[in-house]
């Protein structure tokens, strides 16, 4: 890597340090809270499905239908929020 690369403002030592700090904080937030919630939700869904199959196959079919509806709802919410995020960035 050439020394002149660091002369550009976006590659200065200060901006690189800030980017590394922000990336580390983002990674910590992702791995810490979000990942634990995702794992907890998946395990709860699997446990609920197992309990439903043990209790009654009819109940299991109802639970599967509800999982499908919840999944569709989550997908729609993510798309909706991405739209708001894109609109906010456009006006910023």
Q: Locate 47 and state its tokens.
A: 């446990």
The pair phi, psi for residue 2, each rounded to 5°, is -80, 150
Quote the longest CA-to-CA distance of the chain. Answer: 70
pLDDT digits (tens, 9 = 90+) for 4-33: 766 777 777 777 777 777 777 777 776 777
Give the three-class secondary structure for 35: helix
Which residue from 70, 73, 20 is spatially nearest to 41, judged by alpha carbons? 70
The pair phi, psi for residue 3, each rounded to 5°, is -65, -30
pLDDT digits (tens, 9 = 90+) for 27-76: 777 677 777 888 898 999 899 889 989 999 998 998 899 989 998 998 99
Neighbours of 64 (CB within 10 A): 13
Taking the whole predicted model, whether its pTM rises above 0.75 is answered as: no
């Amino acid at each position: 890597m050439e020394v002149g690369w660091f002369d550009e403002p976006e590659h200065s030592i200060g901006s690189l340090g800030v980017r590394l700090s922000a990336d580390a904080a983002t990674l910590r937030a992702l791995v810490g809270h979000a990942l634990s919630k995702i794992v907890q939700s998946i395990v709860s869904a699997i446990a609920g499905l197992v309990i439903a199959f043990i209790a009654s196959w009819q109940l299991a079919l109802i639970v599967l239908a509800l999982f499908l509806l919840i999944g569709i709802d989550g997908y729609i919410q993510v798309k909706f929020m991405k739209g708001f995020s894109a609109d906010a960035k456009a006006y910023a």
